Amino acid sequence: MSETPHDAALHEAPVLAQEGPSSWLVYTTGLLLAIILTATSFWVANTPLIWAPGIPLGLAVLAIAQMGVHLVFFLHITTAPDSTNNVLALAFGVLVVFLVIAGSLWIMGDLNLNMLPAAESMRMPMHHR
């Protein structure tokens, strides 16, 4: 009996994520960077050494760095040619998050403009039936 090409594929082991010392090092490096960025965020939020109006910007920069660490070290999203679909999925996810945040801010701003001031709403007569 001769083996057909699709029969030969049945005997091959599936290729999964690489395991070994290099993957352990990648995950450990990512974990250490994530811990350092998290601790730095708590420090920035609670220290009097940083100019108060600069704290939100500092936290935003640290949050973006934290996302980068997670994407590269844990999700393995790179700009390599074999991860084009991952990058496209990530870009679509970023677009959806941006649209949700922008839409929410737009709706909240519009509602804020159309609200009555608190003093005027307290003086409005109540109609009883």
Confidence band, pLDDT 50/70/90 cuts, at residue 9: very low
- Amino acid 14: pLDDT: 46
DSSP assigned state of 80? S
Mean residue pLDDT across the chain? 83
- Average pLDDT, stretch 23-40? 96
Average pLDDT over residues 97-111: 92
Contact 90, 71 (CB under 8 A): yes
- Give the Cα separation of 72 and 89 in Å (integer): 14
In whole angstroms, give the CA distance from residue 17 to residue 118. Answer: 59
- When computed from its CA atoms, the radius of gyration of the chain, rounded to whole angstroms, is 26
